[in-house]
Structure 1
Amino acid sequence: MSRVSLFVLSILWCGSTFAQEDIKLEEDLRPVWEVGAFAAAFNNPAYPAAGQNETNVIATPYGIYRGKVLRVGDGSIVRAVAIDKSWYELDVSMAASFGSDSNDNDTRHGMPDLDFIFEVGPQLKMRIADFEFAEHGRSELFFNLQARAAFSTDFSGINHRGYVFQPQLSYVQKGWLSEKTALSIRLSPSWATEDLQDYFYQVDTDYVTAERGSYDAKGGYMGTNLGISVSFEATNDIRVFVGGGMTFHSGAANINSPIFVDKSTYGLGVGMVWRILESKELVSGR
């Protein structure tokens, strides 16, 4: 299995990473199921606080099911509608990042490669406010509590890498510039246990060089991400997503690591979701 393949699985589970940013108002009616294709390109840091970015491109089918009790790929991996109230939802949060070849990175050259990392855990999503604008649609403000277990894989085995705690303040607005345009703004600090911090920032004696001293990483604060994305309908069946973000690492627990390079990093992404087939039966968007 290639590095892209496991990321493709996460896309299949979530429907689409970018598609999650599309606001779903309570009165919206959507197909019970839909299938289509997703393509995207990402330019992100090789690892948190890395001094170099890497570009990855993916293309994959996707599927979404919006049942009366269970929903899959509708803005999350899986969600129990029975505990989906007007002001909170309990579902599953997921995050993923591509692996990185250390020999392509000036700071980590000669160190072990970073494998593909995926994170899974519960999420409590609370709607704390909603707004309606005369000319710019409707919006909602959410506060999400996310706790995830992190795993790395070289596709011959899976290693547990500790845990991540990531609260998130999320603002989403539908009808931002036009009826079919959506805006999303997210602010999310992250904390990680020592196992995951070791994976990124530890330097064992075997990998010490003249420019890279040994370092014993510790758990704690990793950084705060500010992300913005916009989506719009190119046609009735094709939706385009453009996003970017900055992560600020000042005050991070391992800022003194020799492979901790930049106190601020950026990421960019562009994607397209093409809905090919859908059910005639409709269900509420929430």
Structure 2
Amino acid sequence: MKRLLLIAGWIAGAGAASAQTEEATPRREALPLWELGVAAGGLSQQAYPGSDQQARRVLALPYLVYRGKVLRAEGGSAGLRTVRTERFELDVSFAGSLSSGSESLRAREGMARLGTLVEAGPVARWFLNGRSASDRISLELPVRGVFEARDPRRHRGMTLEPELSWQRRPQAGGWGYGLSVGALFGDRRMGSTFYGVAPGEARPDRPAFDARAGLIAWRLGARAATHLTPDLRLFAFGRLDSLAGAANRDSALVRRTTGISYGIGLTYTLKRSAASAND
């Protein structure tokens, strides 16, 4: 179950780039209603914003793309898309962050382990120059609940992550790529998950800290994808996080004010429907 939940967060970076590649590929003027495939690659992610350690994984996971008019599962989003126009849509989005695995985090020594987190919630998306623009500019406003992958009943907080992005949609056989800038905000519970230090966890170099709601990190991202064959796609993505002005910058658990996450991999379509998507 944990591995399946990680698909949303890990393939989201690949999915967004791969989706825009597919949308603009002339050989698929009408995309299939559904696709089933496998994704494999490597990911390195900052253990949490402000950590001085990375969480690294090599993953091979199945994925499903479904392009129904209302029910969707594509490019890091899934659920009921109740509103869709040339310039706006309302959807459900997913994100996530990896645990440190068997490696203990030095900053959190003696504290509860920070597990894999899964986020889900509604997202409003505006296409500022139109959905079909070759150089598409979009604004996303997702609101997500954060839960532990091992036990989804454990609610870890709420996040708001506005993002402004630019996407270059490729010509046949070319690359699709994009840039994004955004910010991650969290409520007090989310802040406590990353930065709170209870009195019983305090040490001389880690004083007790009561976390606050507010800015968690600024984010600058980039992604790219291309078709190597009709069924095989190569993708890569990266993100820079900065804690400049963050609400919990003074926590002893903040060991580094900037951090990077990146990944590279392949997706392969095993099977696709003969029926075409509605839009």
Answer whether TM exceeds 0.5 for this pair.
yes
Question: Match of 1:92?
Answer: 92
Question: Match of 2:162?
Answer: 167
Question: Match of 1:140?
Answer: 136
Distance 1:117 1:156, change over 3 A: closer
**Higher mean C-alpha displacement, 178-187 vs 230-239:** 178-187
Among residues 257, 260, 275, which one is paired with 1:263 in the alignment?
A: 257
Deviation of 1:69 (Å): 3.3
Deviation of 1:208 (Å): 1.6
Q: Distance in 2 between matches of 1:281 and 1:180?
A: 26
Kept after mapping to 2: 8 A contact 1:16/1:38: no
Deviation of 1:195 (Å): 0.2
Report percent identity of matched pairs. 26
Kept after mapping to 2: 8 A contact 1:65/1:74: no
Question: Match of 1:73?
Answer: 74
Task: Figure out how many residues of one structure are paired with residues of the other and give that number.
Answer: 274
Among residues 12, 16, 20, which one is paired with 1:20 in the alignment?
A: 16
Q: Does 1:41 align with 2:42?
A: yes
Distance 1:16 1:187, change over 3 A: closer
Structure 1 residues not aligned, in runs of 5+: none
Question: Match of 2:55?
Answer: 54
Question: Match of 1:4?
Answer: 3
Q: Distance in 2 between matches of 1:113 and 1:211?
A: 19
Q: Deviations over 1:62-88 (max 9, x none)?
A: 1122223322235511242x5210100
Q: Distance in 1 between matches of 2:195 and 2:268?
A: 39
Kept after mapping to 2: 8 A contact 1:238/1:275: yes
RMSD of aligned alpha carbons? 2.5
Aligned counterparts, 1:1-286, within 5 A: 3-8=2-7, 10=8, 17-21=13-17, 22-23=19-20, 24=23, 28-73=29-74, 75-80=76-81, 83-100=83-100, 104-129=104-129, 138-153=134-149, 155-156=150-151, 158-175=153-170, 179-283=173-277, 286=279
Q: Distance in 2 between matches of 1:95 and 1:174?
A: 23
Structure 2 residues not aligned, in runs of 5+: none
Distance 1:97 1:159, change over 3 A: same
**Higher mean C-alpha displacement, 118-127 vs 55-64:** 55-64
Q: TM-score, normalised by structure 1?
A: 0.87
Q: Distance in 2 between matches of 1:26 and 1:233?
A: 9
Distance 1:250 1:70, change over 3 A: same
Letter of the 2:175 counterpart: T
Deviation of 1:280 (Å): 2.1
Kept after mapping to 2: 8 A contact 1:101/1:114: no
